[in-house]
């Protein structure tokens, strides 16, 4: 298939799923019914949206970021989420099109993005998303050649956050990480394997630091402010799922270290 059409198809699918995700995370969080059949509505005046208002990305700009009826501001969260989905699906579609791994990678990428969006918006990891993602990753792990590395990665990822949780409960009498982070660590390890898990965790914490430091300096956050770790763990996972081997090989060649 022509590369252009692959990119267009992947982009359209990403836009549709991104728009679906903005609705999904809202209804899951607020326990609203009608995920599969309910009409999308303005979050302010609750008016049902027309078909033209549901076109990913473009509808927000056409309406200048405001509801046609009530005139209230529509958060940039909606088009930004759709753009992230489009770009991610185009990149993965172009690179992995024609490979059997795309059958399993596609759902994993989608759920990683949903977890990212959900945690960034509500500071929560919803098990209705994380557990199916873990199940798919586990099945995929048994179908890949590096099964042992992936299973070890899952154990390491889960253990990394379990150890933090246990130590902070013992020493500080309160959890230093959420239980959802244990699930995300397990998911990352199953998808990446232990070799790629370690640099992915480093990248996630680097992203978290780059996000937190300006907030601390400007006084918009304190040391007690909770950070949505999933909003950093999931993009780091996507980066290493997409180009982890290339990044690792570049690092080993650059440093001249062949220990792995």
- Do 132 and 63 sit in the same domain of this protein? no
Last residue of a domain, one of 98, 127, 150: 98
Q: Are 119 and 230 in contact (CB under 8 A)?
A: yes
Phi, psi dihedral angles at 212 (to 5 degrees): -80, -40
User: Total structural domains in the chain?
Assistant: 2
**DSSP 8-class letter at 50:** P
CA distance 221 to 158: 28
Banded model confidence at residue 156, pLDDT cuts 50, 70, 90: very high
132 and 32 both lie in a single domain: no
Which of 95-109, 111-125, 221-235 holds the top average pLDDT?
Answer: 111-125
* Domain assignment of residue 239, given as a range: 101-260
Q: Position of tokens 């090989």?
A: 249
83 & 157 share domain:
no
9 and 118 in one domain? no
- The answer to whether residue 198 scores a pLDDT higher than 90 is yes
Residue 94 and residue 110 in one domain: no
Phi, psi of 185 (to 5 degrees): -65, -45
Percentage of residues in the chain with pLDDT exceeding 70? 98
* Percentage of residues in the chain having pLDDT higher than 90: 60
The SS3 call for residue 66 is: strand
Does the pLDDT at position 222 exceed 80? Answer: no
**What are 229's two structure tokens?**
């770790």
The per-residue pLDDT for 1 is 66
pLDDT of residue 207: 95
Average pLDDT, the chain: 90
| Beta pairing partners, 66 | 73
Give residue 255's pLDDT.
Answer: 79
Q: How confident is the model at residue 148 (pLDDT cuts 50, 70, 90)?
A: very high
- Are 201 and 110 found together in one domain? yes
- Cα distance from N-terminal residue to C-terminal residue, the chain: 37
- Taken in order 237, 239, 241, 244, the sign of the CA dihedral is negative
Output the 3-class SS for 237-254.
HHHHHHHHHHHHHHHHHH
Please check whether residues 136 and 93 belong to one and the same domain. no
144 with 91, same domain? no
> Measured between alpha carbons, how far is 78 from 19 in angstroms, rounded to an integer?
7
CB atoms inside a 10 Å sphere around CB 242? 16
Please work out, in degrees rounded to the nearest 5, the angle formed at the alpha carbon of residue 179 by the alpha carbons of 176 and 182.
95
Same domain, 44 and 110: no
Of 8-12, 13-17, 197-201, 256-260, the least confident: 256-260
Query: What tens digit of pLDDT does each residue of 59-98 get?
Result: 888 888 888 778 788 889 999 999 999 999 999 999 999 8
For range 184-199, the mean pLDDT:
96
pLDDT confidence of 106, banded at 50, 70, 90? very high
- For the full predicted model, state whether its pTM sits above 0.75: yes
Looking at residue 260, its pLDDT comes to 56
pLDDT digits (tens, 9 = 90+) for 23-61: 999 999 988 887 777 777 777 777 787 778 788 888 888
Output the pLDDT for position 258.
Answer: 60
Instruction: Answer yes or no: do 22 and 81 share one domain.
Output: yes
Domain end, chosen from 78, 98, 118, is at 98
Q: What is the pLDDT of residue 253?
A: 85
Provide the CB-side half-sphere exposure for 75 (13 A, CA): 12
Please check whether residues 10 and 130 belong to one and the same domain: no
Same-domain pairing of 206 and 223: yes
């Amino acid at each position: 298939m022509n590369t252009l059409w692959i990119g267009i198809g992947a982009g359209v699918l990403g836009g549709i799923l991104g728009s679906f995700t903005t609705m999904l995370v809202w209804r899951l969080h607020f326990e609203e019914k009608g995920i599969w059949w309910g009409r999308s509505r303005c979050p302010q005046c609750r008016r049902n949206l027309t078909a033209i208002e549901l076109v990913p990305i473009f509808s927000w700009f056409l309406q200048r970021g405001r509801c046609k009826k009530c005139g209230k501001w529509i958060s940039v969260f909606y088009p930004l989420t759709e753009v992230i989905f489009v770009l991610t699906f185009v990149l993965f579609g172009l690179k992995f099109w024609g490979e059997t791994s795309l059958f399993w990678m596609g759902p994993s990428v989608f759920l990683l993005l949903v977890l990212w969006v959900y945690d960034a918006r509500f500071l929560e990891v919803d098990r209705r998303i994380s557990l199916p993602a873990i199940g798919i990753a586990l099945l995929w792990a048994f179908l890949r050649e590096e099964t042992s590395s992936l299973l070890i990665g899952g154990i390491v990822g889960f253990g990394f956050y379990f150890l933090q949780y246990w130590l902070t409960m013992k020493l500080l009498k309160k959890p230093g990480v959420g239980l959802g982070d244990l699930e995300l660590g397990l998911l990352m390890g199953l998808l990446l394997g232990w070799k790629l898990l370690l640099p992915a965790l480093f990248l996630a914490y680097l992203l978290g630091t780059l996000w937190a430091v300006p907030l601390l300096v400007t006084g918009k956050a304190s040391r007690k402010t909770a950070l949505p770790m999933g909003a950093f763990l999931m993009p780091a996972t996507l980066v290493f799922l997409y180009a982890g081997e290339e990044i690792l090989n570049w690092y080993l060649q650059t440093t001249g270290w062949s220990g792995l």
